[in-house]
Structure 1
Amino acid sequence: MTDKNHPPPGDDGTLLRAAAAGDRGAFEEVYRRHAPWLAARLRSRCADPARVDDIVQETFLALWRGTARYRRDGDPAAWLWRIAARRLVDSLRGDGARGRLRQALHRLRHRDAASAEELVLARVEHGDLAGSLARLSPELRAVLQATVVDGLTTREAAALLGIPPGTVKTRALRARRQLREELT
């Protein structure tokens, strides 16, 4: 165990493994490092602040209880995001039409505000990828963010976006085709 006033040094992967093994100091450090950005990223996808808070807590509980184990491969932040994104999808599945309507209204109210992913994608400087991504319609860009950036499956992306899985596949295909044409 580590002292609460002296968080354990080390990389996130080491901290995740220590937290999963019951190291409270490591757990607190992981939470301090990752909970704020995780909550901000979830808020860009969910209009319900209470649900976002619950999902952040569930994500870290999965780590603490050992139901989610980080292995040595992969980015720790991406691993945490994947847990949170899947918990969000599961949570939204339970809402049905009411949840999709709330999400749609939230997106309409905040459509001028760029999400964290949009800001990151806008900063991409390889070729004209940033410009090509900006020229995609919001629907195509949302599918790319869900499937490529967030790593969700087609079914998970469909539940998150409130559209049928076939529509996710079609939009992903159209987005890739449009990007390919613009970048060649």
Structure 2
Amino acid sequence: MRTEPDDDAAVLHAVAAGDERALGVLVARHTPWLRVRLLRRYADAEVVDDVLQDTFVAVWRGASGWRGDGEVAAWLWSIAVRRLVSRLRHHKAPTPVGTEQLDTRLASAEDLVLQSVTHGDLGAALLALSPELRTVLQATVLDGLSTREAARLLHLPVGTVKSRASRAREALRRSLVALPTTDARGA
């Protein structure tokens, strides 16, 4: 395989030609960030590892299906997310645990913040957004994608992603500003 080290398109073309070493390069290059982002969506590392394996098997089988009109990373992310969603559709949902059974002393600070976001005012404000606005926010804020990456992933023009992100932030701002506030000193 003769490729520049950072040329994902050339590496993917080599994978499409049957080069197993090229697949290894792609796996080594993209598994770390894919794993982190998938774990943000679903916290079971075992399931995420299975999804990653499925993702790269799909890449091996379907590398020739990449149209070349976007970044390889965005294409890989779209495959990984679809594989995760598919896996979760067939995965038995965990039994809910009551709050009285949770030991909050073992919860990390990040877990507590995410729980308050999910179940607090911000979570409610996010759920009030239209799916189009919420999807853009999830891609750009929670998944940390750039506007350009989010546009490719969501199959939208960059301008549409920017305008939806702006509208979503404004809607959240209006929703959260309307909530009663308390003084930080408890007064």
- What TM-score does the superposition give when structure 2 sets the normalisation length? 0.55
Pick the structure with greater CA Rg.
2
2 CA distance for matches of 1:87 and 1:71?
A: 19
Aligned residue number for residue 87 of structure 2: 91
Q: 1:87 to 1:180 in 2, by over 3 A?
A: same
Q: Is the 8 A contact 1:21 1:66 kept in 2?
A: no
CA RMSD, 1 decimal = 4.0
Q: 1:30 to 1:111 in 2, by over 3 A?
A: farther
Q: 1:152 to 1:73 in 2, by over 3 A?
A: closer
Extract unaligned runs of 5+ from structure 1.
114-135, 154-171
Q: 1:68 to 1:60 in 2, by over 3 A?
A: farther
Aligned residue number for residue 12 of structure 2: 16
1 CA distance for matches of 2:89 and 2:64?
A: 21
- Picking from 116, 122, 127, the partner of 1:137 is 122
Aligned residues: 132
Aligned residue number for residue 113 of structure 2: 112
Q: 1:60 to 1:109 in 2, by over 3 A?
A: same
- Picking from 133, 138, 147, the partner of 2:135 is 147
Letter of the 2:61 partner, please give it.
R
Aligned residue number for residue 160 of structure 2: none
Aligned residue number for residue 144 of structure 2: none
2 CA distance for matches of 1:179 and 1:26?
A: 44
Q: Is the 8 A contact 1:59 1:83 kept in 2?
A: yes
1:39 aligns with 2:35: yes
Q: 1:37 to 1:44 in 2, by over 3 A?
A: same
Identity, % of aligned positions: 42
Aligned residue number for residue 116 of structure 1: none
Letter of the 1:147 partner, please give it.
T
Alignment of 1:24-63 (within 5 A): 24-63=20-59
Q: Is the 8 A contact 2:30 2:73 kept in 1?
A: yes
Letter of the 2:168 partner, please give it.
A
How far the C-alpha of 1:20 sits from its partner, in A, is 2.1
Residue deviations 1:42-96, cap 9 Å, x none?
0111121111001001111111122772221011111100000011111111135
Q: 1:47 to 1:79 in 2, by over 3 A?
A: same
Aligned residue number for residue 77 of structure 2: 81
1 CA distance for matches of 2:50 and 2:172?
A: 36
Q: 1:43 to 1:15 in 2, by over 3 A?
A: same
- What TM-score does the superposition give when structure 1 sets the normalisation length? 0.56
